[in-house]
Amino acid sequence: ESYLFIHPNSQGGVKPIRKDLPDVASSKENAWAVPINWVGMNDIELPVLDRDDTGHVYQVPARVSVQVSLDKGDQRGIHMSRLYTLLRDRLSSEAIDYSHLEQLLKDLLDCQKGLSQNARLEISFEKWIKCRALVSDEWGWRRYPVRLRFEEKNGEMNSHFSFEVLYSSTCPASAALARHDLIGKLREQSDSGHWTIEALEQWMEKESGGIATPHAQRSRASIMLGFSDKGNPVRWKDWIELAEKQLQTPVQTAVRREDEQEFARLNGQNNMFCEDAVRRLYSAFRQLAHLKSLEIRVCHFESLHPHDAVAEIYWP
């Protein structure tokens, strides 16, 4: 490639001098003439354009990874800077959607001038969503890690969309033991075995510090969706809301006492082992139209143990 330099010491003032610089990546002097499956860059720092619920486009910081195949074994390297500049210019000028990324992947291949037949692109950023409290008029912001992965290999395009949600999981075994303890205490405190509402209220208030409570913990669900329909829109908010609705106990933002009470009630109605949570999510997402693949992983950050409880389901 040719570059233009300004030489300050030329007679007659400053004038441009054209100079050819070596491009060793294009060299054919390669002792190991072997094709490379994937070569490129990971965790590039770039801004990308996303859309909110109203269609407004806004800029968010992202991490971008891109690789192409080097199919010519005698070629020393790819044109890596072309990948970077193409991503830099396109991701900051067009909002993320399926058609945009599909075309971008094709352009990444074209910029390699015949060196590559396969390409893959991964974009990770945080989706900010306004969340309302369970009962009151309070609200707050939640950030959800999301990731898009597009790959063109052997002429076939594949896309995957990943996201995470946080929720509370109350252990069913612990809940059963807490109920057993409560029943035992009630039997001990009643000679006749019968309680009036007033007496029970008084006893509960007096014994509030001694009643067993089930252990619960913050938990995380990671979901990856693959679709067969190339026109499938990116529906981050819909997918996140589907997951949280199925789990019933998503973490909250700003709350009042009535919200916290409702959260406690929902936890009591939705005791979950990790096996229960992953099956709940699978039953909901398996119904999505044009679904080609599904991966769900849940992790319960145990409060009883120093280790985590995990479960995974893959389809097909």
Amino acid, single-letter form, for residue 39: V
Structural domain contains residue 270: yes
Does 174 score more than 90 pLDDT?
A: yes
Percent of the chain past pLDDT 70, that is, above it, reads 88
pLDDT value at position 185? 81
Band of pLDDT at residue 32, cut at 50, 70 and 90: confident
Distance CA 210, CA 78 (A): 68
In the DSSP assignment, the letter for residue 255 is -
Structural domain contains residue 200: no
Q: Which domain holds residue 246?
A: 36-171+215-315
**The pair of three-digit structure tokens given for residue 107, joined into one six-digit string:** 């352009």
Structural domain contains residue 86: yes
**What confidence tens digit (pLDDT) does each residue in 71-90 have?**
998 898 999 999 999 999 99
**Mean pLDDT, residues 263-269:** 97
pLDDT value at position 3? 44
pLDDT value at position 5? 46
pLDDT value at position 193? 66
Q: What predicted TM-score, i.e. pTM, was given to this entire model?
A: 0.85
pLDDT value at position 53? 80
Structural domain contains residue 108: yes
Structural domain contains residue 203: no
Structural domain contains residue 65: yes
Band of pLDDT at residue 229, cut at 50, 70 and 90: low
pLDDT value at position 27? 65
Band of pLDDT at residue 231, cut at 50, 70 and 90: low
CATH code, domain carrying 267: 3.10.270.10
Does 279 score more than 50 pLDDT?
A: yes
**What confidence tens digit (pLDDT) does each residue in 49-73 have?**
998 888 899 999 999 999 999 999 8
pLDDT value at position 210? 75
List, in sequence order, every beta strand (DSSP E) within the chain.
2-7, 15-20, 36-51, 57-70, 119-132, 139-153, 156-170, 216-227, 291-300, 309-315
**What confidence tens digit (pLDDT) does each residue in 282-297 have?**
999 999 999 999 999 9
- Indicate the average pLDDT of the chain: 90
Band of pLDDT at residue 2, cut at 50, 70 and 90: very low
Distance CA 157, CA 263 (A): 43
Does 160 score more than 80 pLDDT?
A: yes
Structural domain contains residue 292: yes
pLDDT value at position 268? 96
Structural domain contains residue 205: no
SS3 24: helix
Band of pLDDT at residue 28, cut at 50, 70 and 90: low
Distance CA 241, CA 144 (A): 11
Number of domains present in the structure of the chain: 1
pLDDT value at position 147? 98
